[in-house]
Amino acid sequence: MITCQKHLFSLAEDVSYLNNAYRGPVLKSSEQAAIDDLQLMRNPQRIAPDDFFNGVKRVKGLFSRLIGSAVDEIAIIPSTSYGFAVALSNWKVANGKKAITVQDEFPSGYFSINRWASENEATLEVIQRPEASDGRNELWNRRILDAIDENTAVVLISSVHWMNGCRFDLEAIGAKCKEVGACFIVDGTQSVGAMPIDVKACQIDALICATYKWLLGPYSLGIAYFSAAFDQGRPLEESWMNRTNSQVFSSLTDYQEKYLPQANRFDVGETSHFVLMPMLEQSLKQILDWTPETIQSYDFELKKQLAEYQESRGLGMDLSSFSSNHLFELPLKKELNPLELKEVLEKEKIYVSVRGTSLRVSVNVFNNQEDINRLIRVMERF
């Protein structure tokens, strides 16, 4: 088990940041890497042609270790919507099938699959979350599995629901998708980095992640995995960087018909992302060093502390395997206004989010028991 890692960040001492699901704080090492890269721009002659590619390769290598894939199955994307567009524009089936997502899926995913459904004359089935009860997250998972049938062409869901922390059983859903030949697209933004994932064991076809949350990366830089189902896919754009001769700057106009192999063809133009890419490289190294398994165990202790308080107040909290340890909802007494509570918390420099009628609390290795105690003290007063 690790101890609190706040010293590796520049978070203010008196701040309890319980909102990594909103945006992850930058590591000191990432900040330094960005500054170093920025300073390199003062003298562009020091930037060699290889520098356009090497940072990308290193980041792909680190990310592939995190999710259990090959390096060539990784693409650099600017946002999750871009990643969904790559996957869905390459998923061709006969018209009239079914697409599946879940209630309150993040808008980038929802709009992407909704558009795919209308362009392919498919119906979009949105699986509703059961009403509040013990085991509602488990039941939600069951409903998804029951909905996937021979007529299903695509399933698009998040690994962990961004509003309530419900953890979807990717292994079971992936197996059902394979059984019926459906494409399985996962938005990993709210878990990858903080929770273990194995894309092969889960039989995922496309894993799409923004990096500015649990990967502790910068905004405007995303990363994705594409399975062999997309090996011959068509990129959204025609970038010079995605052709087989791109590294030989003197002969770029010997236009090459061939794209780079596998997912490399889907890299967004200007893939190198100077300044941003070195930040992600540092955070991926740090996450691999901590390990997502350790992060989940660390976060569970903090979640348990809150669950004990909730119980003492007669309020529930899901501690089952169908709720993530790093992002979860904190049900409140009906008469309490969560937006007012959030305001009071912010006056005390405690930061959480409100999603629906619950507080959304998210914890990471820079938090400790005192952050949870501070949250409890204010809730008690409120």
Ligand X SMILES: Cc1ncc(COP(=O)(O)O)c(C=O)c1O
Q: Which is nearer to ligand X, 190 or 367 (CB)?
A: 190
Q: How far is the CB of 165 from ligand X (least distance, A)?
A: 11
Q: Which residue carries 């540092």 as its tokens? A: 282
Q: Which is nearer to ligand X, 27 or 186 (CB)?
A: 186
Element containing residue 185 per DSSP (H, E): strand 183-187
Q: Which is nearer to ligand X, 192 or 379 (CB)?
A: 192
Q: How far is the CB of 301 from ligand X (least distance, A)?
A: 24
Q: Which is nearer to ligand X, 81 or 114 (CB)?
A: 81
Q: Among residue numbers 272 through 311, which ones bind ligand X (CB under 6 A)?
A: none
Cα atoms found within 13 Å of the Cα of residue 141, Cβ hemisphere only: 20
Q: Which is nearer to ligand X, 117 or 210 (CB)?
A: 210
| 162 is an interface residue for ligand X by CB under 6 A | yes
Sorted by sequence, the CB contacts under 8 Å of residue 195 that are 6+ apart come out as: 159, 160, 167, 214, 292, 295, 296, 324, 325, 326
| 114 is an interface residue for ligand X by CB under 6 A | no
In this structure, what token pair is assigned to residue 272?
């190198």
When binding is defined by CB under 6 A, the residue of 108, 120, 324, 364 that contacts ligand X is 108
Site mask for ligand X (CB under 6 A), range 61-90, x = bound: ------------------xxx---------
In this structure, what token pair is assigned to residue 143?
């409903």
CA–CA dist 300, 180 (Å, integer): 35
Q: How far is the CB of 187 from ligand X (least distance, A)?
A: 5
Q: How far is the CB of 86 from ligand X (least distance, A)?
A: 13
Type of residue at 3: T
CA–CA dist 69, 21 (Å, integer): 25
Q: Which is nearer to ligand X, 141 or 189 (CB)?
A: 189
Q: Which is nearer to ligand X, 189 or 286 (CB)?
A: 189
| 101 is an interface residue for ligand X by CB under 6 A | no
| 158 is an interface residue for ligand X by CB under 6 A | yes
Q: Among residue numbers 163 through 222, which ones bind ligand X (CB under 6 A)?
A: 187, 189-190, 210, 222
Starting at the edge strand that comes first in sequence, how are the strands of the sheet with 123-127 ordered?
Answer: 74-77, 222-226, 206-210, 183-187, 152-158, 98-102, 123-127
When binding is defined by CB under 6 A, the residue of 9, 17, 63, 106 that contacts ligand X is 106
Buried b (16+ CB within 10 A) or exposed e, 146-157: ebbeeebbbbbb
* Burial degree of 61 (CB within 10 A; 0-12, 13-18, 19+): middle
Q: How far is the CB of 251 from ligand X (least distance, A)?
A: 35
Reference 208, options 103, 278, 113, 323; nearest CA is 113
Q: Which is nearer to ligand X, 168 or 298 (CB)?
A: 168
Reduce the DSSP state of residue 219 to 3 states and report it.
Answer: coil
| 103 is an interface residue for ligand X by CB under 6 A | no
Q: How far is the CB of 207 from ligand X (least distance, A)?
A: 12
Residues that bind ligand X (CB under 6 A): 79-81, 106, 108, 158, 162, 187, 189-190, 210, 222
